[in-house]
Amino acid sequence: MKRLASKIAIVTGSSSGIGKAIALRFAEEGAKVVVAARRKNLCERTVAQIQERGGKAVAIPTDVTDETQVERLIGETVARYGRLDILVNNAGIGGGGRIAETATEDFDRVINTNLRGTFFCCRAGFRQMMHQGGGTIINMSSVAGVQAWAGTGTYSASKHGVMALTRSLADEGRAYNIKVSAICPGGVADDLVDASPKEIERSEKISPYDIAETAIYLATLGRYAVVHQIVVDRLGAEW
């Protein structure tokens, strides 16, 4: 039996990279997937790939930095399917560099997408899951969300913020049967999501499909089990 049969899942940032890998694998496991990202044409391409493989998906183009668009994303999903079982907040960007050299505009852009956008999605998804009596939220953080190095200040700040949101929301969700977890990847070959397994392996980076399997694991845990965070780092990486 497919592990996510009949589940309704939203995956943000699923027009490419890790999010696309998660959307493809969720659909293969039986979920009805809502593909959400800024670029409509790439969202529709992901949906087409899912449908070609026999899965079910729809595209709802969404900019997670826009509160109204996020509310619409949740609302349209529930109007179509009646509920929301899994929300994967994957949409995010890199950037920043060394703090002394970081422009305020660059800082705001990273924080608005990675942290503020995740907050909007968490809030809207959590409210729906409270109403329906449970669900699973998976936030995409980073190894930079549990550590920080020179040149990662802005990005790390955004991802540390995601970890704080995750921990707080996990505590708040216990009373409503809502599980909230974070995945913290490092060094993912996210630009190779459509490449062959051999091409991904040759990149010597983590396969985006390994992150997708991690998301499936979190989404299929037993009723009384929750994992608060999972760090998936590259073999040989220094800590």
* Per-residue tens of pLDDT for the chain, all 239 residues: 899 999 999 999 999 999 999 999 999 999 999 999 999 999 999 999 999 999 999 999 999 999 999 999 999 999 999 999 999 999 999 987 899 999 999 999 999 999 999 999 999 999 999 999 999 999 999 999 999 989 999 999 999 999 999 999 999 999 999 999 999 999 999 889 989 989 989 998 999 999 999 999 999 999 999 999 999 998 877 65
- Residue 191's pLDDT is 87
99-107 long-range contacts, Cβ below 8 Å, gap at least 24?
Answer: 99/153, 99/154, 102/153, 102/154, 106/154, 107/154
* Residue among 23, 213, 10, 239 at smallest CA distance from 147: 239
Domain extents in the chain:
8-232
Contact predicate 35/51, CB 8 Å: no
- Residue 212's pLDDT is 98
β-pairing, 135-140 with 32-36? unpaired
What is the rounded distance in angstroms from the CA atom of residue 42 to the CA atom of residue 133?
Answer: 33
Of 81, 155, 176, 209, the catalytic one is 155
- Residue 97's pLDDT is 87
Contact predicate 181/207, CB 8 Å: no
**81 noted as active-site residue:** no
List the 32-36 sheet strands across, edge first: 56-59, 32-36, 8-12, 86-89, 135-140, 178-185, 229-232
DSSP 63: -
Contact predicate 190/17, CB 8 Å: yes
- Specify the pTM: 0.95
- Residue 161's pLDDT is 98
Q: Which strand (E) or helix (H) includes residue 139?
A: strand 135-140
Residues ≥6 apart with Cβ < 8 Å to 142: 155, 156, 159, 184, 185, 186
- Tell which CATH architecture fits domain 8-232: 3-Layer(aba) Sandwich (3.40)
And the tokens for 165?
Answer: 């949101």
* Residue among 15, 186, 12 at smallest CA distance from 88: 12
- Residue 234's pLDDT is 86
Residues 69, 20, 43, 82: what is their CA dihedral angle, to the nearest 10 degrees? -60
